[in-house]
Structure 1
Amino acid sequence: MFNLKYVLVLLLISGIIISGGIFFVLSNQDVEKNVVFIKVWEKEKNILHLPLYVAMQEGYFAEQGIKVQLLNGSDLAAKDLYAGDLADILLTDPVDCIYHQSVNQSAPLIVASLAHRDGTFILAREKETISWEGLRNKNIICYPPETGPGLVMEKIIRNNGMVPMRDLCLYNRIPDELRLGVFKSGSGSYIQLSGTQALIAEENGAGHIIASLGESANSFPSVLCTVKPEVISTRTDSVQGFVNGIYKAQLWMQHEPQITARAIKTHLGDLDQKILNQILQKYLTMKMWTPDPQIDEQTFNDIKQLMLTTGQLDVPVTYTYETAVNNSYACQAVKTIQYTPKDEQGKSWFREIFD
């Protein structure tokens, strides 16, 4: 009798395992058939895009039935991005995005903020405590105003009661590859550099980081997720799944910062690990990837008004926040995606039954 019970138990367990295996295989096959491919364009690999890389690495897009194909500047000519179906989603800065919206009614719509702060820094030749008012009558090597970092510089200068080119001089037409060399040669009192460039320059003795524009400018998104209107109208579920994946990555990064390591190794592995760790900590401190993918109306209007002031937009501007931004996907993601504490993530349905 004992042996019979023992055999029956083994048969029952074996049946469960085999049935589970068959179900798993069939389910995976069904999932593979229903996977939707989304082409996402980024100008270049950038640590500011980290939530995207984390979502890919950790399978957050796969959970939504999405497989992301990354395209970059070497894959597509910028002039082709807004035509045809070369890319579904574009990662861009707000200046480029709003400009294209102003000249093209069918330009991509903003659906989420990927990075919420500017990622550049001010480098000085000597260590000093920066006072923005103290930059009056100085020369700064910076980015052009038709770029996100350039417009942030304009914003900070104007917020501190100064007018560019009147109260201080901005060298904003130096080619990017020559800027640091020009600074090293003695031109400019300060230089504005991207995060990794600034840290590498400081490491090599070219100067000292004295300010973060992301902290000084506060809310000024550096990377937006934009989607073509035709993709929104025909593949709305896929767009929602993409934004869900981005938001989940932003949310999980706040609770489990260690998950960034795998994404960094896969997507940014050619950069110096020490520099990456340093810039990662700086960005986390300034709340670069706070889990809130929505773009608020005040931020959008402030950027648009600043672009008008600096001559980046033709007047009159006919489009509005309501026509340029679609926050419905971000709002839905915030409502439906909730963080699960790490000690509960591994619980299976079997364990939960007996807890």
Structure 2
Amino acid sequence: MRLKGLLLIMLSIPLLLFTACNQGDEMTEVKLAEVTRSIFYAPQYVALAEGFFEEEGLEVELTTTWGGDTTMTALLSGGADIALVGAETSIYVYAQGANDPAINFAQLTQTDGTFLVSREPVENFDWEDLKGTTFLGQRKGGMPQMVGEFVLKQQGIEPHEDLELIQNIDFGNIASAFASGTGDFVQLFEPQATLFEQEGIGYIIDSFGTQSGEVPYTVYMTKQSFLENDEETVEKFTRALYRAQQWVLNEEPAAVAESIAPFFDDTPVDVIEQVFIRYRDQGSYAETPLLKEEAWYHLQAIMDEAGELPAETDYEELVNRTIADRIIDE
């Protein structure tokens, strides 16, 4: 019996040592700044909720910085290691002669995330119906506004001539302005658009995402110096993201909604599921982290159309696709 007990103790020592080593492994801390909190970013919250980042040895600290300018300030000042924000911000920073530019290394969303919402139900909607109306648009210079104007022009509408375009309302107050009576039509993100439908305040009649084509709408970027000095961390981050992107594609919507619900305390789970389905079905979620070259130049065409492109920037200058390619090929 003593021998048997001794053998059991000896056999258990390697397991105990292995467990202790695993528990003692140091996690790499990553400060992540997101431009806003949105179901539009579902794969990111899945990566956090399902432990994909942790399994890569990353302890991700998520902060919502509420706006492109503040998000880029956090990244460039060192307040964040990685930023989730519109790809256009990297072009703005680069045009200002940044010594340590922001490099886009992974894509999260590949369409615009806003919807056209009318105050009254509209049967057989045609974009021509917007002419002569008051349109409550997004903040000038941001991707929603640029995509909005791009789509209007593609539909034969001159935004600054054919309708009354309101762009002087802060992003956070656009929904409440429409609810209080401003505008005949409004450009809204989810879940506000769906909530307005449920409350009878507005009606979703079209999608700017389906109308504008594929574009690197929301991407992950980091400073060039961080990428050069800590490429392994960026690679681990991208691998976890890719797992989340595949998980979102293959799981039932209800499972996705349950997974990310803790990030949206004020939104009912059934609404989260409905919004996720809407974004998924219109192809908003990128299936891989790869930011495609044609989408990069389509983004700049949209910026140029809006008069916001400081200078055309080569794909290779601000996009690193090496990591995404490597992970997809694994």
After TM superposition, the score normalised by the length of structure 1 is: 0.82
1:261-299 per-position Cα deviation (integer Å, ceiling 9, x unaligned): 454233222323232222112112122224222111221
* Partner SS state of residue 127, structure 1: coil
Question: Equivalent residue for 2:88?
Answer: 95
> Aligned runs of 1:198-217 on 2, under 5 Å?
198-217=193-212
Q: Does 1:265 align with 2:271?
A: no
1:313: Cα distance to partner?
A: 2.9
Q: Does 1:252 align with 2:244?
A: no
Answer yes or no: is the 8 Å Cα contact 2:90–2:318 preserved in 1.
no
Question: Equivalent residue for 1:312?
Answer: 308
Partner AA of 1:266 in structure 2: P
Q: Distance in 1 between matches of 2:307 and 2:77?
A: 29
Question: Equivalent residue for 1:346?
Answer: none
Q: Are residues 104 and 269 of structure 1, via their aligned partners in 2, closer, same or farther at CA, if it must alter by over 3 Å?
A: farther
Q: Are residues 181 and 246 of structure 1, via their aligned partners in 2, closer, same or farther at CA, if it must alter by over 3 Å?
A: closer
Work out which of the residue numbers 10, 27, 31 in structure 1 matches 2:22: 27
Question: Equivalent residue for 1:287?
Answer: 283
Question: Equivalent residue for 1:42?
Answer: 34
Question: Equivalent residue for 2:326?
Answer: 332
1:300-336 per-position Cα deviation (integer Å, ceiling 9, x unaligned): 112212212322133xx26311101111111112112
Partner AA of 2:88 in structure 1: V
Work out which of the residue numbers 222, 229, 232 in structure 1 matches 2:224: 229
Q: Does 1:110 align with 2:104?
A: yes
Answer yes or no: is the 8 Å Cα contact 2:104–2:320 preserved in 1.
yes
Q: Distance in 1 between matches of 2:244 and 2:172?
A: 33
* Partner SS state of residue 267, structure 2: coil
Q: Distance in 1 between matches of 2:28 and 2:106?
A: 20
* Partner SS state of residue 276, structure 1: helix
Q: Structure 2: which 5+ residue stretches go unaligned? A: none
Partner AA of 2:55 in structure 1: E
Answer yes or no: is the 8 Å Cα contact 1:251–1:290 preserved in 2.
no
Partner AA of 1:241 in structure 2: K
1:157-214 per-position Cα deviation (integer Å, ceiling 9, x unaligned): 1222333212333222223454345434554321111111111222221121111222
Q: Are residues 270 and 187 of structure 1, via their aligned partners in 2, closer, same or farther at CA, if it must alter by over 3 Å?
A: closer
Identity %: 26
Q: Are residues 17 and 265 of structure 1, via their aligned partners in 2, closer, same or farther at CA, if it must alter by over 3 Å?
A: farther
Q: Distance in 2 between matches of 1:16 and 1:239?
A: 38
* Partner SS state of residue 289, structure 1: coil
Q: Distance in 1 between matches of 2:307 and 2:319?
A: 22
Q: Does 1:86 align with 2:79?
A: yes
* Partner SS state of residue 69, structure 1: strand
Q: Are residues 14 and 260 of structure 1, via their aligned partners in 2, closer, same or farther at CA, if it must alter by over 3 Å?
A: farther
Q: Distance in 1 between matches of 2:263 and 2:180?
A: 34
1:79: Cα distance to partner?
A: 6.9
* Partner SS state of residue 308, structure 2: coil
1:54-112 per-position Cα deviation (integer Å, ceiling 9, x unaligned): 112222112222111112227x9557424332111111113333222322432311111
For the pair shown, which has the larger CA radius of gyration, 1 or 2?
1
Answer yes or no: is the 8 Å Cα contact 1:98–1:304 preserved in 2.
no
Q: How many aligned residue pairs are there? A: 325
Q: Distance in 2 between matches of 1:318 and 1:186?
A: 40
Answer yes or no: is the 8 Å Cα contact 1:112–1:224 preserved in 2.
yes
1:260: Cα distance to partner?
A: 2.5
1:41-65 per-position Cα deviation (integer Å, ceiling 9, x unaligned): 1133222222122112222112222
Question: Equivalent residue for 2:317?
Answer: 323
